[in-house]
Amino acid sequence: MSSDVSALQLVLSGDPALFAIVRLSLYVSLCAVALAAVIGIPLGAWIALTKFPGRQGVIVLLNALMGLPPVVVGLAVYLLLSRSGPLGKFGLLFTPGAMIIAQTVLVTPIIAALARQTIEDLWLEYRDELTAMNLGPLGRVAALIWDARFSLVTALLAGFGRAAAEVGAIIIVGGNINGFTRTMTTAVALETSKGDLPLAVGLGLVLIAIVIAVNALAWTARRAGERWAG
């Protein structure tokens, strides 16, 4: 990416390097959110509906994990994926796959904790009806997750926000390799360290614009759904 040119000019001219970076950022963060949802929503639902010893402690821990420091997660995943580490033979370090893994670790507690809260609140309301229908645990979970879908979208957006904004984890496990693992946030970090602040600010604004666009899309979808479903 040429550094004598402002970020706006890059956007308007359709600079391929910039678009590759945007595409990678969205790819990594959206994959992470999808994986985190597949893991986190059922996990949150299960904790919401199941009584087991130490349940309150698990809930406190889950809420606390929402604040996992990204650099620490990055370091931990780095040590796991390094060739000298236990999962080294997959050769995932310094690839987008490693970045997705690190961000999934960061985002899953957010989605699980918010899902747990949402579904637990909903369970209070639905408990009698669902019990009277003689539903098993899977049936209850499925019914509650579907009925909670709008609130769960908000949880997913919170997770996406976290993933799209962070740099500490992905710069460690991705290596910020030009054309391969460089995302919007790592590009901002790099341009800042090179002293090209106008470009860094411009990239930052592009990133914010994209995050707003994603949120606006989800909001529109949610509104349309809610307007129908009442």
Partner 1 sequence: MKMLTRRLVIAAAASFLFAGHAIAQDKSIVVASTTSTQDSGLFGHILPMFKARTGIDVKVVAQGTGQALDTARRGDADVVFVHAKPAEEKFLAEGFGVKRYPVMYNDFVLIGPKSDPAGVKGSKDIVAALGTIKAKGSDFISRGDKSGTHQAEINLWKVAGVDIGKDKGPWYKEIGQGMGAALNTASASNAYVLADRGTWLSFKNRGDLAIAVEGDKRLFNQYGVMLVSPEKHPSVKKDLGQQFIDWLVSAEGQKAIAGYKIGGEQLFYPNADDPGA
Partner 2 sequence: MRAPSSELPIEFEGVTVASGSVTILDDVSLIFDGGAPTILIGPNGSGKSTLLRVAMGLLPPSRGRVTWGGRIDVPPLRRAIVFQRPVMLRRSAGANIRFALGAAGVPRADHVRRTGELLELVGLAPLADRAARRLSGGEQQRLALARALARDPAVLFLDEPTASLDPVATKAVEDIIRAVSARNIKVVMATHDLGEARRLAGDIVMLHRGRIVERGPAASFFDTPQSCEARAFLAGDLLI
Interface characters, 22-61, with partner 1 (x: CB under 8 A): -----x---x--xx--x-----------------------
> If binding is defined by CB under 8 A, does position 138 make contact with partner 2?
no
H-helix or E-strand containing 174? helix 168-174
Q: Are 99 and 168 a contacting pair, CB within 8 Å?
A: no
> If binding is defined by CB under 8 A, does position 212 make contact with partner 2?
no
Contact residue for partner 1 among 54, 193, 227, 230 (CB under 8 A): 193
What dihedral do alpha carbons 8, 12, 18, 21 form, nearest 10°?
100
> If binding is defined by CB under 8 A, does position 147 make contact with partner 2?
yes
Please give the Cα distance from 81 to 4 (Å, whole number): 37
Q: How many other CB atoms are there within 10 angstroms of residue 189's CB atom?
A: 18
Q: Is 125 or 212 the residue whose CB approaches partner 2 more closely? A: 125
Residues 54-93 that bind partner 1 (CB under 8 A): 82-85, 88-93
Q: Which stretch binds partner 1 (CB under 8 A): 53-61, 119-127, 169-177, 212-220?
A: 169-177
What dihedral do alpha carbons 203, 181, 79, 57 form, nearest 10°?
50
Which partner from the list partner 1, partner 2, none does 3 bind, CB cut-off 5 to 8 Å by kind? partner 1
Token readout for 130 is: 């669902």
Contact residue for partner 2 among 14, 51, 86, 132 (CB under 8 A): 132
Q: Which stretch binds partner 2 (CB under 8 A): 10-18, 46-54, 101-109, 138-146?
A: 138-146
- Residue 4 sits at φ, ψ, to 5 deg, of -90, 5
Token readout for 184 is: 């919007």
Please give the Cα distance from 226 to 207 (Å, whole number): 28
Contact residue for partner 2 among 58, 133, 209, 216 (CB under 8 A): 133
Q: Are 166 and 106 a contacting pair, CB within 8 Å?
A: yes
- Residue 104 sits at φ, ψ, to 5 deg, of -60, -40
Please give the Cα distance from 177 to 24 (Å, whole number): 12
- Residue 34 CB, nearest approach to partner 1 (Å): 6
> If binding is defined by CB under 8 A, does position 97 make contact with partner 1?
yes
List interacting residues with partner 1 (CB under 8 A). Answer: 3, 27, 31, 34-35, 38, 82-85, 88-97, 100-101, 142, 175-178, 180, 192-197
Binding site for partner 2 (CB under 8 A): 125-126, 128-129, 131-135, 139, 143, 146-147, 149, 228-230
